[in-house]
Homo-oligomer: A and B are copies of this chain.
Amino acid sequence: MLSGDKKAVVLLSGGLDSATILAMAKEKGFILYALSFRYGQRHKCEVASARRVAESTGVVEHRIIDIELGQFGGSAITDAKIEVPKDSSDLGDEESIPLTYVPARNLIFLSYAVAWSEVLGAFDIFIGVNWMDYSGYPDCRPEFIAAFSRTANLATAAGIKGKGRYEIHTPLMNMSKGEIILAGTKLGVDYALTHSCYDPDEQGKSCGRCDACRLRLKGFAQAGIADPIEYAE
């Protein structure tokens, strides 16, 4: 257990992975600061989910930052002109990088987390990246996280002054979706509050067919637990 005054900044998308790491950081005794982004994603209900998850987990502060990633385009997630792939056959194929990849997204999210951490005097940052049930995103790999940690410690006054070392915690890195759901369920995560779908309908119901839905459904099947959210049709 920690001394009781150690703060952590947790990147909270509102999906099931980030809800799980928030519960894990709480379990470790960190004082929780949650950070979410409105970055032009199609699935804006993600942010509403993040709010519900943050509230239910008892975070001290939840910041939601508007960033203009969408203006760069280049991704099915932020560009209405690119269709979200459905029923794709290359799920989990490490060779191909899917259309839902958002250029440099985790690099930008983590950079903001470092900025906030520095002001808070926090040195622990949690991000729910995952290498096992890998969607092919380069910025979810352990090499990227290691290089980023090094950079964060060189980028900041806190790092230089030796007040502490930034640590990027990736507790889900080597877990399958099924294992993540089992671990979160044990910690009391309410997955009914989470949202995963890249392309929900107007009522916010998940499509069940995009990569994010399929990974989620596969995870609940692996865990032998029913997914509590509603799907379209």
Contact = CB atoms under 8 A, between A and B. Distances in A.
Interface residues of chain A: helix, strand, loop or mixed (majority): helix
A187 interface: no
A97 B67 contact: no
Contacts of A157: 97, 101, 103, 138
A147 to B, nearest CB: 4
A122 to B, nearest CB: 11
Interface string A98-124: 000101111110011011101100000
Q: How many identical subunits does the complex contain? A: 2
Contacts of A152: 104, 107
A139 interface: yes
Contact of A161 (B72, B97, B112, B148): B97
A3 interface: no
A141 interface: yes
A160 B148 contact: no
A156 interface: yes
A151 interface: yes
Interface string A66-90: 1111011110000000000000000
Interface of A: 63, 65-69, 71-74, 97, 101, 103-108, 111-112, 114-116, 118-119, 138-139, 141, 143-144, 147-148, 150-152, 154-157, 159-161
29 contacts: A65-B68, A65-B71, A66-B66, A66-B68, A67-B67, A69-B115, A72-B119, A97-B157, A97-B160, A97-B161, A103-B114, A103-B116, A103-B119, A103-B156, A104-B112, A104-B115, A104-B152, A104-B155, A104-B156, A107-B111, A107-B152, A108-B111, A138-B159, A139-B156, A143-B154, A144-B151, A147-B151, A147-B155, A148-B155
Given A74-B118, A111-B111, A147-B155, 15 more contacts: A65-B71, A66-B66, A69-B115, A97-B157, A103-B116, A103-B157, A104-B114, A104-B156, A107-B114, A139-B154, A139-B155, A143-B154, A148-B151, A148-B155, A150-B150
